[in-house]
Structure 1
Amino acid sequence: LNRFSSDLNQMDELLAVALFDTVQIATMALGAMVLACVVIPWLALMMPPLIWAMVWLRQYTTKSIRELKRLDSTTRSPVYSAFTAALAGLVPIRAYGRTESTQGHFLTLLQRNAKSWYWWLIANRWFGFWLDLLCSSIVAFVAFFGVVLRNTSNPSLVGLAMVYILSLSGMFQYMLRQSAMVETFMTSVERLAHYAHDIPSEAEVLQKALPPSGTPTAMSAPAEEALGVELPALPPAGFKPGSSKMDTDWPSEGHIIFKDLRVRYREDLPEVLHGVSAVCGGGQKVGIVGRTGSGKSSLLLALSRLNEICGGEVWIDGVNSTTIPLSRLRESISVIPQQPHLFSGSIRFNLDPRGTFSDDACWEALQRASLQQFVASLPHKLDEEIDEGGANWSMGQRQLLSLARAVLARRRIVVLDEATASVDFDTDSAIQSMLKSSDAFQSSTLLVIAHRINTIMDSDMLLVLDAGKVAEQGAPAALREKPG
């Protein structure tokens, strides 16, 4: 947050102004010194030592000022983070009586940042004091030589030189301060460059080589027998690794194969999924259950490559997910999360951010999600503004709007990550009825994580995870008959 606010502002606005002022004032100061030396030639002997002293002073102080500014920027980031976290968690902070500890933590971070800023300010004042002293010595030399050489110098020219030299004091101080600020503000450029280039980003394509066309995986044959579906050959003919020019209807069936999948969130962290293997037939509803921390959400994150795969494979309609560009992969999957996020904007924008659907299609999606009557009662209908995060909507309404968004998109793969955990039973019933009856999801593969047993008992298959491994999988009726 600090990089996108303070650092970006310093680079875009303050740095350019400081650089322009430095060049402009340096030109004016040079002209004033040349004029003074022309009027009183003896000043030419005094100027080089004074200029050298100013340059040395600037180099000596800039090192400290630059590091203090870097420390100020570094200690400001935790202040922004703590403030944002406190705003987002006001309710639990007050509910659990943690107001004083939260306030104390924030004040500690603020004091740490204030110390850095204070010493940065003191360093600038110290630099200004010694700079004023050097500039005053130039004025003293001009006055001294003007008196000593009063019989040989033109008084009017000496007066002109004095006027310029008096203004030179302020110009020198401002110029050197601004040049020091240019170097100081470059720490913001350094931080932004580090954020843009040094931090690794998601790879569009992880794998360049695929098996020959028509080569099935080891799981294809048993998958066909268990599910009664014919899985596609891997990969489909005509697909080029890493190419975004796939068939426009991909994925057309929604077949998903997890083969010995291993996932970790970072390279230095342990694996959260340990060789998960499962097959989801196209158009099936698959319930994913397990204790907290068993890897349910991690499995679905791996499907969209939000956490990168460190071993194994995920195949979607015969295409290895690591060969698919991220934009194409993620736009093929609809996600209805537990905490739906709405953007600041109109209802139409939240339903269709790209503006590809008509108003009639939006109204139809709202009707299927049981929101048409509510939206129709609003003054501006589809153009009604939604606050950031959907703050002016209830949790149930936000969840239904997320469902309407998925209805409008009509993806072949729909993921519900505990979508009904934070809503009441009426909203839960409306969502379940929508998933069962709507033709928008009839041909879609539904991957459902849920804690309420009624949400997943009508699934075609259950996948039970435990400690990042598959404990059981099969039809709900078959699993119910198993002992234990």
Structure 2
Amino acid sequence: KRLDSVSRSPIYSHFSETVTGASSIRAYGAIQRFIEESNRKVDENHSCYYSSVVSSRWLTVRLEFLGNCVVFFTSLFAVLYRGTLSPGNAGLSINSALQITATLNQLVKGSTDLESNIVSVERIIEYTKEEQEAEWFRDESKLNESWPSNGAISFNRYSTRYREGLDLILKQIDVNIEPGTRVGIVGRTGAGKSSLTLALFRIIEADSGSISIDGVTIADLGLQELRSRLTIIPQDPVLFTGTLRMNLDPFNRYSDSQLWTALELAHLKKYANSLEAGLDHQISEGGDNLSVGQKQLVCLARALLKKSKILVLDE
């Protein structure tokens, strides 16, 4: 049961990944490889499932035999001692013996269910041992509502790594970015471009050195305070199931006129006007009813609404 439960999860994960990347799989002609991979995972699970079923049948036969033996010997005892044993006690003994098979089956079923479900408990325990992020809020940090008012960023001999034991991905970065400037970071794959973004949003923490924004060291701030003041347009646009209005303004902070202005600046107003429901147009999960370009423009309009002093564009 335990092996069956453990080997079943990779099947679901593989199926989900295959459905999500179906177009890429067909484009690169990798259909057969994914079919073979799916068959391999199913075979592994079925080998565990078959063993579980066979073991269950094997044990059931022996439990039934054991239960019948108990009933037989109880009945034999009642016959042999019928002179000293009252009919009521004899009937009670035989009736209890008849129920022992069901009791044994329930005991075995409970133990196998426990063994199967304990996998979920193990996963929860693994999550509890994961290293947690920094505090979401810090009472001692008191920022002005307008921070960052300028948008000056300073990397002060900053170094970081993805986790303990790995090599540094950023080494002794020492750079000042002046307010109002546009900075492009280029380099080969693995050079650390995206790592700078992760460091700025404190998704990875500093190994040494620090990052300051308008003179405030970001390590002294709560994560919500820091991330809510910065804006990023990720490489893969992120949209949620809901209305266009909700995707532009998830916290309901802006008026309709501000939303339309942002759509106009993002060159998406014409498309929004063509929608029957306008701002209340329903967007499906992941924005599947929008083109890739339209999803990027919605993310751009959302970023323009914040009017943040620091805007990060990932590719």
Does TM, scored on the shorter chain, surpass 0.5? yes
Please list, as runs of the form range in 1=range in 2, the aligned pairs for 1:39-438 lying within 5 A after superposition: 69=2, 71-155=3-87, 158-195=90-127, 197-204=128-135, 243-418=140-315
State the one-letter code of the partner of 1:274. K
Alpha-carbon distance in structure 2 between the residues aligned to 1:188 and 1:81:
16
Alpha-carbon distance in structure 2 between the residues aligned to 1:257 and 1:286:
13
Residues 344 and 387 in structure 1, CA contact (< 8 A), matched pair in contact too: yes
Secondary structure of the structure 1 residue equivalent to 2:183: strand
Alpha-carbon distance in structure 2 between the residues aligned to 1:378 and 1:245:
43
Gap change, CA 1:338 and 1:262, over 3 Å in 2: same
Q: Which residue of 2 aligns with 1:433?
A: none
Identity within the alignment, %:
40
Alpha-carbon distance in structure 2 between the residues aligned to 1:119 and 1:322:
53
| Deviation at residue 136 of structure 1 after TM alignment | 1.8
Matched residue count: 315
Residues 14 and 38 in structure 2, CA contact (< 8 A), matched pair in contact too: yes
Alpha-carbon distance in structure 1 between the residues aligned to 2:126 and 2:190:
33
Residues 242 and 323 in structure 1, CA contact (< 8 A), matched pair in contact too: no
Alpha-carbon distance in structure 1 between the residues aligned to 2:196 and 2:10:
32
| Deviation at residue 310 of structure 1 after TM alignment | 1.8
State the one-letter code of the partner of 1:193. I
> Which deviations, in whole Å up to 9, do the C-alpha atoms of 1:346-365 show, x marking residues without a partner?
21221122223333332332
Residues 243 and 325 in structure 1, CA contact (< 8 A), matched pair in contact too: no
Alpha-carbon distance in structure 1 between the residues aligned to 2:256 and 2:64:
69
Alpha-carbon distance in structure 2 between the residues aligned to 1:167 and 1:178:
17
Residues 347 and 383 in structure 1, CA contact (< 8 A), matched pair in contact too: yes
List gaps (5 residues or longer) in structure 2. none
TM-score (norm 1): 0.60
Gap change, CA 1:90 and 1:183, over 3 Å in 2: closer
Alpha-carbon distance in structure 1 between the residues aligned to 2:271 and 2:21:
29
User: Which of 1 and 2 has greater Rg?
Assistant: 1
Alpha-carbon distance in structure 2 between the residues aligned to 1:244 and 1:122:
63
Residues 128 and 173 in structure 1, CA contact (< 8 A), matched pair in contact too: yes
| Deviation at residue 272 of structure 1 after TM alignment | 2.3
Secondary structure of the structure 2 residue equivalent to 1:289: coil
Alpha-carbon distance in structure 2 between the residues aligned to 1:340 and 1:347:
14
> Which deviations, in whole Å up to 9, do the C-alpha atoms of 1:393-450 show, x marking residues without a partner?
01111011001111122222111112xxxxxxxxxxxxxxxxxxxxxxxxxxxxxxxx
TM-score (norm 2): 0.89
| Deviation at residue 306 of structure 1 after TM alignment | 1.9
Q: Please, what is the CA RMSD of the aligned residues?
A: 2.4
Alpha-carbon distance in structure 1 between the residues aligned to 2:143 and 2:175:
25
Residues 141 and 220 in structure 2, CA contact (< 8 A), matched pair in contact too: no
Residues 139 and 165 in structure 1, CA contact (< 8 A), matched pair in contact too: yes
Alpha-carbon distance in structure 1 between the residues aligned to 2:58 and 2:143:
65
List gaps (5 residues or longer) in structure 1. 1-67, 206-239, 419-484
Gap change, CA 1:270 and 1:357, over 3 Å in 2: same
Gap change, CA 1:324 and 1:125, over 3 Å in 2: farther
Gap change, CA 1:384 and 1:194, over 3 Å in 2: same
State the one-letter code of the partner of 1:132. E
| Deviation at residue 183 of structure 1 after TM alignment | 4.6
Gap change, CA 1:173 and 1:334, over 3 Å in 2: same
| Deviation at residue 375 of structure 1 after TM alignment | 1.9
State the one-letter code of the partner of 2:135. E
Gap change, CA 1:254 and 1:105, over 3 Å in 2: same
Residues 232 and 312 in structure 2, CA contact (< 8 A), matched pair in contact too: yes
Residues 361 and 408 in structure 1, CA contact (< 8 A), matched pair in contact too: yes
Alpha-carbon distance in structure 2 between the residues aligned to 1:289 and 1:179:
58
Alpha-carbon distance in structure 2 between the residues aligned to 1:288 and 1:111:
47
| Deviation at residue 133 of structure 1 after TM alignment | 2.5
Residues 340 and 402 in structure 1, CA contact (< 8 A), matched pair in contact too: yes
State the one-letter code of the partner of 1:140. F
